[in-house]
Chain A
Amino acid sequence: MPLLHVKDLSIILSTNDGPARAVRHLDFHLDAGETLGIVGESGCGKSMTALALMGLLPEMSRTEGQILLDGEDLLQKTEDEMCRVRGNRLAMIFQEPMTSLNPVHTIGHQIMEPLRLHLGLSESDARAETLRLLDRVGIPNPTARIDNYPHQLSGGQRQRVMIAIALSCKPDILIADEPTTALDVTIQDQILELIQTLVQEEGMALVLISHDLGVISENTDNILVMYGGAAVEIGQTERIFDDLVHPYTQGLFAAMPKLGRARNARLITIPGTVPDLIHMPTGCTFTDRCPLASDICRNTPPPVVEVKAGHMVACHHVQEARHRKTEELFS
């Protein structure tokens, strides 16, 4: 049995303009110690999926399907029960290290909170553990830093504090939602390296969410590409990059400026913009921007085709998508 199994998950948000399907029929699983990357653009449902895992969805939302952690459905749990799971078995690192720490409490206080709540440590034990954690995440001089407020730390250091909080109860699964988007490349490098090391040493599973194919490529075993709330391609990271199949994945890869490419070649663009979730076709979510789209795409959800062992693509036109060059596809 996998550690985490997301089965046919749908998230529907009620908005003033009607229901928005933020996530539709998502299926994936995660084994202990595995690293999974979720990649996609804004509005693709990657953050909503993370919030659903943590039981932190906004109130105006409805879920369908199951999220099984060790066979127990998290969606059926009460808030009290979720409080014992959250931070304890599942922990999350948020995108904005500037706003996700409480500015009126010292960082020590914030790291001690889960330790006292979940592990029931005494004040002095929690403080000792906090010092160890700060050292572990690479904050220099923990004894001085423990009484600092968030504004006294740099962006990279704040993200390290967030990681320390997430690690404090030795969770089984660490969810990192765009952990480095607000940081410089050099700091991003340090933080990703730290997450990698910690995940390996503690044997945690990692769900890394990013819009950056480069970050995902270098830090994950498996990858899940989402568009408009649906999974479009899933498989082993290395294999997927050898053979991008879904037209969206191909377009996304081609649209990304890459170092060392001839600069005279134009970037390939995917026409149109990221769609809004209310007026999405009932079939394939990529229909409106897809060069291969036909009538069937708009109204019938695409079948999931296994193109190679473990490499699944949700597309009506897999063969065509596979055997055409990206340049042709989007010209």
Chain B
Amino acid sequence: MTTVKPIATRQAFGEALAKLGETHKEVVVLDADLSKSTKSDLFAKKFPERFFEMGISEANMIGAAAGLALTGKIPFLCSFGAFISGRFDQIRMSVSYTKAKVRIVGTHAGVGIGDDGHSQMALEDISCLRTLPEMTVLQPADDLETHAFIEELAHHPHPAYIRLTRQNVPRVHTSANKLKIGKIQSLKPGTQLLVLATGGLVGNSLEAAHELEKQGVSIEVANVSTIKPLDAEFLREALKRHKKIITVEDHYVIGGMGGAVAEFMAEAGHGKLHRIGVGEEFGQSGTPEAVMEAYGFTTPQLAKRFLSFHKA
């Protein structure tokens, strides 16, 4: 990890989108009364004629984004991930089945948002959206990766969902050069355990692994920023190097990135998996720090959980 000041991926998104608007005239943006929170307001201020305020009407916004895509525009539609994935049928029909190349941006991922509590926390969005044929599902780990993905999404051939954090996250990449949709990147080498982390918990996972390194436990950490399509080549090779894999995500373990890895490993027929995420329970209010601790996502807690699976 570098010493750059931590920044929320939603903030990086807003900046990247405003930049993308300069070079891509077809980019249009829709928001449902949350532009200050999703940071799409940065685009709106710069390109008001290409920004559509859709009011608190997410279902209609999804359909309208599809219609814009069908006239050749590149629509980015923005809201909290919880509110967007809740309009699943509109995404299923008007975006996915229609093959409308809409870019769905869901911010406020997971319990990491803290204060507002469960109703605003996207916890099932990955599970829902990755069932849809040809839907790309992304969760960048830091600002560099967010910039790279937003730029690539201007030309991406499929509908896509990109999941972003409300809270600041540390930079885990050293350069944006090799950050591409579809690739799992190893961030730290290690021989005894593989940690596959995604989104807001990549930084903590990496830090936890470095802590354990000092205690003589060698853990490889990789960033799964493209959850669908899953990087099968990386996972096949990884299963040759490792017997034990842990997945880490601020999302329900059912159907999330851990679910996707579980499906892969079950079909591969070997490897032992432990999934860290939110279990069979709801989110709740509290300071982000207190909530992260309540769900076992702080760096010391992750280190402890990694160690106990390593020893198991």
A binds B: no
B residues at A contact (CB < 8 Å): none
